[in-house]
Amino acid sequence: MKRLSTPRHWLLPLIVFALAACTPKDNETGTHDELESQEKVMTDDVTQADGTADLEVLEQTASIGPISLLPVWEAIEAKHVEPGIRTLLAEVEAAFEKLESDYSSTWAGLMEPLERLQWRLDRVINIVSHLRSVKYTDELQAAYDAVRPAYVELTNRMNQSRAIYDGMVAIRQGDEFDQLKASRRRILTESIVSMERAGVHLGGAAKTRYREITQKLSQLSNDFSSNLVKEEKQNRIRVSDVEQVAGVPEALLTLAAKKAEEDGVADATTATGPWHFVVNGVNYTAVLQYATNRSLREEFYRAFRARGTTPGFDNREILAEIIQLRQEQAALVGFATYADLSLAGKMAPDTEAVWALLGKIETAARPAAEREYSDLLDFMLAEGAQAAENPEPWDMGFWVEKLRTENYDYDSEALREYFQMPRVLDGLFALTRKLYGVDIQRSQEQAPVWDDSVEFFEVRKEGEIIAGFYMDPYARAGEKRGGAWMNTVVDRSRAFSEAGSSTLPVALFVMNVRPPANDGPALMSMDEVRTLFHEFGHATQHMFTNIEEGGASGMNLIEWDAVELASQFNEYWMDYKPFLRNLTSHFETDKPLDEATLDRIIASRNFMIGTATQRQLWYAKTDMALHERYGRSDTEDGATPFEIEQELARTTIVTPMLPGESTLPAFGHLFSGGYAAGYYSYKWAEVLAADAFGAFKEVGLDNEVEVRKVAERFRNTVLGLGGSLPARDVYRQFRGRDATPDAMLEDQGLLQEPMH
């Protein structure tokens, strides 16, 4: 089951701006008159001069051998952000205006300068946006909030530039178009389409309203995200009774005791407390699985599920307004619903195709989910559990873990001792070398980082550095957003290379693993290991790209419902026994897991798969239904977002829920990430990933020669071609056909008969 909090942001190519990736927060209202005033300030000569030194800090770069353009993260302070970005906006706007009046309708005369201009703007914005996600401070947020309206206004104007649009159309209609490489043709075509969807044809009041909506959505998206970060920063569950924390893993108690000391409690200890638990995913998951005290589990469940609803951090009105504004914006550019607008740029042809896939999966998964819940209740009764008579949501994780232990004879928490992060990384890198012929090692040079726990790695092919990546592994309560995600730092592109060859791609991925305790190595759960593989799969698609046009290299221009293919494919290797064994090494003895335990772990991979699938389907159906039904002016459907969510919960979820329980106020994917009317992408891409891994199984996973051949084809197509071709065409080049759900359902034990 995929984590809810795994938003990922990628720089979109050329004129397509990823506003959700860059949206700051707070109390900006952004009226039209205010925006005009801010534009005047933005272009003021004094402001620009004052911010030159600050912009130099934001744009300063470092190199690690041939890897260039690395941000100097540690040099950036909140004081640099507002003056530096205001200067940047003024310079970019001036350069864009010059380009509008002085371009030629050729690739070199329009598209190349446009790429360089947008790259400069997006690079600084994304650097600061990243720091807000991993080193959050109120000062950094406030500085970024101050420039948000001007940034959004400029990107709106660039997206709606009729001069640039006409120039692109002229290239497409001219003699040069047929001579362009396929990647350039696709960049150009998709840029034209994206400008049309951004309202380039709008005029008068409609154009003004479109810009107002974009501005407001930027504000609301960041309000949503920042509310969750700020709430986590101050929200605590405080426990002083030793009996209440029975069963909670010692490592979490150590962290909670340290947090109590940070909160001003003297002499807090792991053994005696008191303990101050941050209400985040790391603590929530562990407490719900292992705490024997039912009241503590209930307190954690209610607190975690209440995120985004507490006074001062309430996201409910925000999310409703976001959906309404999305619907209005979609209507302005000719779409019946925001779902239709979202699907227009995805691999799925329409909303009917999405609902059809979700329906097929549910037909297979629901009977399994019902059996699983029945078996769980039977087990609880057999164990004499008081909760069996009236099971509550906070009982599920605890008893599911006990049933897993009963059925497969291993303790998930105890398994952590065998998954040391350094060893897991070594195993992951060994697999990557086996499949793709590359070597990965920690950089011997000191790369600039944003936290002391961040590491920088080099990727080498035949001894030559071809890419690099940052890894930020540990949770940092109050300054780092929850979940896990991958982002890009440097794209592969000829446009920014001083030597005539392409710049080397650099990725980063962020996790929230439980930090090391007592000076030992970080010990990972199986789910955290799987998350690591997931995020690294994304990074491989960025780093192994063969495309040298920045607008289509890596994950740029890949349809959103195909971007999870590489990540979910990478997870499948964890179920291959020889590889799984290679990840394990006890942190005290260095001995690997025994064969019998490895067999039981692999046998348990589909444990409660029906239940997990139904929950994912609920998220996907809720997302799609909200963006089809809510907030439209042409329908009388009066249901609120929460009523729509509950309606789908009643028909999808088979395990207990609280009355009125909602995931929406903390559903960052939909309201501060890029998954609006696109959460189905996880299942869509899971079909692709299972089908792709099927190609490896067909030649035999133990057949190293044939596996390497298939891996080379996978690298040269799925990982290599980026967005240079539509995802469907890329997949067909790899597999020779389209994917079907059969491989996924069969792998999960849900396939009853072939589906076509």
Report whether pLDDT(7) > 90: no
Q: Tell me the backbone φ, ψ of residue 512, rounded to 5 degrees.
A: -135, 55
CATH number of 19-230: 1.10.1370.40
Please state, rounded to an integer, the average pLDDT across all residues of the chain. Answer: 91
Got the DSSP string for 543-612? HT-----TTTSTTTT--GGGTTHHHHHHHGGGGSHHHHHHH---TTT-PPPPHHHHHHHHHTTTTTHHHH
* Nearest residue to 9 via CA among 673, 542, 556: 673
d(CA 239, CA 683): 39
Sign of the alpha-carbon torsion through 583, 586, 592, 597: negative
d(CA 81, CA 608): 47
Segments making up each domain of the chain, as ranges: 19-230, 235-305, 351-410+609-679, 416-603
- By the 8 A CB rule, do 38 and 27 touch? no
Residue 150's pLDDT is 95
* Nearest residue to 396 via CA among 375, 412, 410, 414: 375
Q: Quick: pLDDT tens for 281-327.
A: 889 999 999 999 999 999 999 999 999 999 999 999 999 999 999 99
Active-site pick, 212, 535, 628, 686: 535
19-230 and 416-603: same fold? yes
Q: Exposed, middle or buried by CB within 10 Å (0-12, 13-18, 19+), for 607?
A: middle
- By the 8 A CB rule, do 511 and 473 touch? yes
Q: Quick: pLDDT tens for 214-262.
A: 999 999 999 999 999 899 989 999 999 999 999 999 989 999 999 999 9
Report whether pLDDT(23) > 90: no
d(CA 305, CA 396): 14
- By the 8 A CB rule, do 25 and 145 touch? yes
Q: Quick: pLDDT tens for 518-557.
A: 788 999 999 999 999 999 999 999 999 999 999 999 999 9
Stretch (H or E) spanning 508: strand 506-513
Q: What is the mean pLDDT of residues 728-735?
A: 98
Q: Quick: pLDDT tens for 589-610.
A: 999 999 999 999 999 999 999 9
Report whether pLDDT(37) > 60: no
HSE, side-chain direction, 13 A CA sphere, residue 136: 23
d(CA 548, CA 625): 39
**Residue 165 — left, alpha, or beta (φ > 0 → left; ψ -120 to 50 → alpha)?**
alpha
Q: How far is CA 207 from the centre of its chain?
A: 31
Q: What is the mean pLDDT of residues 383-411?
A: 95
Active site residue 535: yes
Q: What are 668's two structure tokens?
A: 């960052």
d(CA 446, CA 64): 8
488 three-state secondary structure? strand
Question: What are the residues facing 237 on neighbouring strands?
Answer: 277
* Nearest residue to 3 via CA among 443, 626, 619, 433: 619
Residue 576's pLDDT is 95
Q: Please, which residues have CB within 8 angstroms of residue 201's CB and are 6 or more apart in sequence?
A: none
HSE, side-chain direction, 13 A CA sphere, residue 40: 5
Q: Tell me the backbone φ, ψ of residue 66, rounded to 5 degrees.
A: -80, -5
Report whether pLDDT(119) > 60: yes
Indicate the range of 42-51, 142-151, 340-349, 521-530 predicted with least confidence: 42-51
**Does the reported pTM lie above 0.85?**
yes
Using the CB atoms, write b or e for 628-639: b if 16+ within 10 Å: bbbbbeeeeeee
Fold classified for 416-603: Neurolysin; domain 3 (1.10.1370)
HSE, side-chain direction, 13 A CA sphere, residue 257: 19
Q: Exposed, middle or buried by CB within 10 Å (0-12, 13-18, 19+), for 108?
A: exposed
What is the residue type of 732?
R
Q: What string of H, E and C letters represents the secondary structure of 213-261?
A: HHHHHHHHHHHHHHHHHHHHHHCEEEECCHHHHCCCCHHHHHHHHHHHH
What separation in angstroms does the CA of 737 have from each of 242, 729, 730?
A: 59, 9, 10
d(CA 395, CA 393): 5
